[in-house]
A = this chain, B = another copy of it.
């Protein structure tokens, strides 16, 4: 081991740093304004306890030098990155094509931008991705996490929760030990809305095509259907899909086979409703005359069907804003919370 006794050259004063090319630092601003780093820092952080003279001197020095604070230096000491990760725990590439997802992503980006915080997009599809994302969050890259996970029992949820990083999920996260803050549309209430509407138009043999029941949406929408149908929710009226158009078609064909007297279908997503209408057309049933069709999502697909789709609109824009609000409040030390937002019935031609 080398001797601890070292020669100690006099440490040069901080202001004597050699003139560097490159971005101006807080020191450059301080020198130009004729004040100390501390004063510049005070101006940068709200300008409390700074004399008017110093304030204007610093401000003009900042604009003269084009100074922008170095984000990493600041984060190093504040332990805050002022950015948030949008984590997509989804193996299926399909999600990216989902217009609801697009709205959510856009809404979150914009809501964060209002707080001058950027959004970092991360995909945790494969196991390797998951490790990457874990490391990423662990490295202190972000102050909080927005979690978009559509299937239950997702390992990434537990993993991130173990870091105790502020986190808000989109939709309930069933099957997780940890209670996780979340924002969700009222899937169950929305389904009730739709089925109640179908009944109000005189339909009685109302079938349903569900989404995957291991996801929060799928189970809740089926529950809403059952709430309204009560005893009339016979097993032959319930068929399962996976949110894809093709599955909507095959499920509807199955429904028609099992319950030929069907006069309405509540389909748990617009994309599947697309498939359902195709199946109905193929079976020679007219929409809405013979069979009424109700969708869910109010996606772009809802207006391109013939007739256009009566559906349930989820408040995606509000959802994203609520997610951000919840996340920021958690970052500020508030406890996690859950928010459920109401849906809206959009009546078009199919029912």
Contacts and interface: CB of A to CB of B under 8 A. Distances in A.
Interface stretch (A97-105, A152-160, A199-207, A231-239): A97-105
A140 B105 contact: no
A337 interface: no
Contacts of A99: 97
A109 interface: yes
A120 B120 contact: yes
> How many copies, total?
2
Interface residues of A, number: 45
B105 A132 contact: no
Interface of A: 23, 66, 68-73, 75-76, 81, 83, 85-86, 93, 96-97, 99, 102-103, 105-106, 109-110, 113, 116, 118-123, 129, 132, 135-136, 138-141, 245, 274, 300-301, 304
A71 B110 CA distance: 25
Chain B CB within 10 Å, residue with most, of A72, A83, A99, A116: A72
A122 B110 CA distance: 9
Contact of A120 (B106, B118, B129): B118
Given A66-B138, A73-B76, A85-B118, 15 more contacts: A23-B138, A69-B139, A70-B76, A70-B140, A71-B139, A72-B73, A72-B76, A72-B140, A86-B121, A96-B102, A97-B99, A113-B129, A118-B136, A245-B304, A301-B304
Contact of A102 (B68, B71, B97, B116): B97
Given A68-B138, A70-B76, A93 B118 contact: no
Given A120-B121, A139-B69, A106 B102 contact: no
Contacts of A97: 99, 102, 300
Nearest to A301: B304
